[in-house]
Amino acid sequence: MSTPDEGTPFEALRGQLQQAATEFADGPDALQGILLGIVDDVDRAVREPLEIFPVCHHSPASALAMARRLREKQPKVVYLELCEDMAPLLSELRNCRLPVAVQAFASEVRGFPAEWAPLSVVAPITEASAEYQAIAYALDTPGVELVLVDRSSDHVFQWQAGAAEPSGPDAPPAEEEAALHGDAVGVEIGDLRPRFAELEEHLLHHGRVRHWSEWWHQYVELPLGDSDHDTYRQVMLLIGSLFRRLAPGDTDRVRVDEDRERYMWTRMREHLSATGTDPEDCLYVCGAFHASSRVEEFGVHGSDTFEISPPGGSTWQHGLIPSSHASIEAQFGLAAGSVSIAATQWAKNLRRTRVQPYRLAGQTGAKKAAKPGRSAVPVAPEAPADKLSGFLQSPPALDRLDEAELLGWSVEIVRSARRNGYLASTADAIAVFETSILLAGMRDRARPTPYDFQDAAVTCIEKETVPGRRDVRRLVEILMGGDRIGQVGYDALPPLARDVHDRLAPLNLKLQQRGVQRALLDMTSQPELRQCSDVLWMLRHLMPHGAARPIMGERELGKQSVQESWDLALGTHQRALIELGYEGVSIEQVLEQRLRRAAYAPNATTADVLAAVEDAVLHLRSGRLADELGTRALEVLATERSVDGAPEVLRRVRRLLAYYRITRPVLPSWIESFAKTGYAHYCTLLPTAFTDEDATVRQVAAMLGFLFSMESLALSLGCDRAQLDLAFAQSHPEEPSRTALLWAARVHLGQLSRAELRERCDALLDNPLVVPAYPRYLSGFLHALEPVPHLADFVVEAVSKAFARLPDPVLLPWLPTLITTLRSEGADLTPLLIREAGRVFPGRLAALDAWVPPWEAVPEAPGAPAAPGAGTARRAVLLAAHPQTCDSLAELLGCEGTWEEETPEPSGAVLAGRHPETAAALEALLAGV
């Protein structure tokens, strides 16, 4: 940097600092270079033709100084440090209630790693911020142009790649109000927090404060609240240069900061050159850290060597989302309650100084819009004067104790504490009052700050436990203004969000209001509410849990509710609804995109795709999309080599198949192909699954359920039953539960009779070596109810025998396993068992003593007389008596014939005697062999 010219207004201050550096340091080089460099930075920024206005984000002092300077200077162009692609959204701030955040959102990521998606950048705006004053002035003053000069949202991720990485899976969940910004990258205007940990610790220690926000409030915010423009400007430039030289921070972050400064000055020179505007008529609003820049591109006469890279291929959507004080504090690392305290300080500054702030015309929550242009006449620029020397040499102004304010705080905190369950009294209010004064005195403050009062309240009221949901620290934050939560107005919402509000208008609810509201839908008396129900079910699928929660009513395939009850909290989840608008113009479009994205994801399973098919049928009623996704499910099934998703596949395929059989005359081609392919697929995997340790019994049972339930359809489409027979012939499980499952499946196929199965189970109970493993066999039989439900009576019999014959050391440890198995995996099977047990067991307790189980009943003796008619063939007596039906059917089919007289039933092989050709051919074949 070149040496400043002689005769600058800061020459006296430079000499004093040089003398101090020589006196207090070992040598004049190190400390002198830092101190004189700070003065050079301030001098350079003050002498710049384009006025630089340094600010701190959400600082009431910066906002007050900005309002004053705008009325004095009345610039024609305002350059603002904000992402340049966010400019079109700023006019919509008048339709919102602050605080809100301007957001840039990209769901489709191009040029960045896919795991970063979605990309989100937010810039929160509060009324107590200098940037809002500049925006309101520029938008409501005729002839004034607002130009955003900071890097675009795409450059944020190009230059700060690490900032977009998601938080770790073990990170604690944020509170609802503090999570309004989600995982978005925050754009800071006026970041003045030291980046050197030791420096910040030093400032906090000697300032006798606990947090950086408290230090800033005490040593910067309050002294600058009543200062003039030149003093404010030079002090902020000094602070920015001080932190920049003493604590440059991370090398990569410094590089990004310098690139931002080059970017902004390049954009400003381009605008000045294109419009021919005089720099004296412009105002550059930026953070104090960037105001004290030392890059070559600094100033209107700086170098033009910086090249701005083109944006990437990501498609960015822009909108406004609700913000809150807590979310701003959480995102930018401020102390809890600091933004609320700043809002309270802003209101006090306005009352004390009677400065009229700028507010956008029609701003929600604003008392009266400002009328710029009438309060002051533009002043001619004057030569900068040294205001730093007087500010640094003057002792801090000691504010007198405002007893009325402190008494009001003490009384109110005690009243609030009592409402929240604390045993607080008037004595506690007095103790809080006196302790606040004591703490302020110990910290060299004549007037207690809100932070002193907060510490005193915690000390005096919160003894040991917190009786309610809020502790005393939180109660003080509420007392100081609370967590104000902004709201985006209807006119500023994206088209999708406005469409949702319009379609839910028949509910007659204040949907933008925060909190939970109950909606009652009676579609019988009000058929128009059916459309509202469709919207609510789609919102439940798309939005976070709690935004739309059904209390009564269901939506399943083939079922439709006539009455529904919902808990709606769309106002609380307004940010999520707005972000849906970035993905499409209607919720139907967004839902279709998400279903297609889920189905074609690289890690999508067959169950995931079938779930997408079901959602397409339920919510969109789209046969085209359902057929497309069904074809995709068929492709995924053919590539799977495991049976992990078999239970979910079986459940969803059964539902879809039943739905299509009811609603369509012909099954869709994809589900026929799915049944055919699935039959062959699971027949192939069945022998391996029976012996695979990674496959559970429930998964194997689901495979069998698919094979048995789809068998008739698959065979009608051309599948071979021999595939299933070969699969069972190759299945040789060794684990008891899978062995029992195989036995049950063979009973279904007719390869094993019930009598043989009962004999095997009785043999297990009779074998002392196998008795400890018998509960595992029963577990297999319980899972066998999925593919073979008609074995429910046998399962009841097996369980009853287990309770009757198993010893206590085996039975008692097994009971918890049985209960957990039925609860977690057999919820659908339990009613079947209960119904079968109710049929078998007696209904009254008195009959239980004389009751004999059916499986222990004594069979009839072999010599007992046969029942009448036993052993004779049952003839179609009714058909022979009334042959008209058969005659009509034969005439319809074109068959001719006569009725034969009934003859006594012959004995022996009658068919072989009438047609001996088959027997003769078989005899010749055997003779040749």
What is the tens place of the pLDDT at every residue in 413-447?
Answer: 888 888 888 888 888 889 988 888 888 888 777 77
Tokens of 773: 């493993």
What is the model's pLDDT at position 907?
A: 54
* 199-212: average pLDDT: 69
Residues in the chain: 929
What is the model's pLDDT at position 844?
A: 79
Tokens of 696: 């559970």
Q: What is the largest CA-CA distance in the chain?
A: 140
Question: Is the model's pLDDT at 185 over the cut of 70?
Answer: no
pLDDT band at 455 (very low <50, low <70, confident <90, very high): confident
Question: In angstroms, what CA-CA distances link 586 with 63, 547, 874?
Answer: 39, 17, 67
What is the model's pLDDT at position 392?
A: 57
The Cα 457–Cα 409 span in angstroms is 10
Q: Are 334 and 325 in contact (CB under 8 A)?
A: no
* 594-620: average pLDDT: 91
What is the model's pLDDT at position 876?
A: 63
**Which amino acid, one-letter code, is at 265?**
W
Give the highest mean pLDDT range of 326-340, 461-475, 502-516, 849-863.
Answer: 502-516
Contacts of 802 (CB under 8 A, 6+ apart): 765, 774, 775, 778, 811
Question: Is the model's pLDDT at 143 over the cut of 60?
Answer: yes
Contacts of 852 (CB under 8 A, 6+ apart): none
What is the model's pLDDT at position 373?
A: 45
What is the model's pLDDT at position 230?
A: 81
What is the tens place of the pLDDT at every residue in 360-417?
Answer: 887 765 555 445 444 445 555 555 666 655 555 565 555 556 778 888 888 888 888 8
**Statement: the pTM of the whole predicted model exceeds 0.85:** no
What is the model's pLDDT at position 613?
A: 92
The Cα 214–Cα 335 span in angstroms is 8
Q: Give the side-chain half-sphere CA count within 13 A for 140.
A: 23
Tokens of 584: 């499409």
What is the tens place of the pLDDT at every residue in 243-294?
Answer: 777 666 667 777 888 888 888 988 899 999 999 888 898 999 988 888 888 8
What is the model's pLDDT at position 166?
A: 40
Q: For the chain, state the CA radius of gyration.
A: 41
Helix, strand, coil fractions of the chain, as percent rounded to 5: 55, 5, 35
Q: Are 39 and 10 in contact (CB under 8 A)?
A: yes
What is the model's pLDDT at position 304?
A: 80
The Cα 275–Cα 144 span in angstroms is 13
Tokens of 529: 């509410």
Of residues 259, 55, 230, 240, the one with CA closest to residue 159: 259
Q: pLDDT > 70: what percent of the chain?
A: 81
One DSSP character per residue, 309-377 reads PPP-SPPPEEEEEE-BHHHHHHHHTPPTTHHHHHHHHHHHHHHHH-------TT-TT-SS---TTSS--
Of residues 61, 98, 143, the one with CA closest to residue 322: 98
Q: Which residue has the tokens 């004779």?
A: 872
More confident residue, 58 or 101: 101
Q: Which residues pair with 488 in a beta bridge?
A: 96
Q: Which residues pair with 521 in a beta bridge?
A: 564
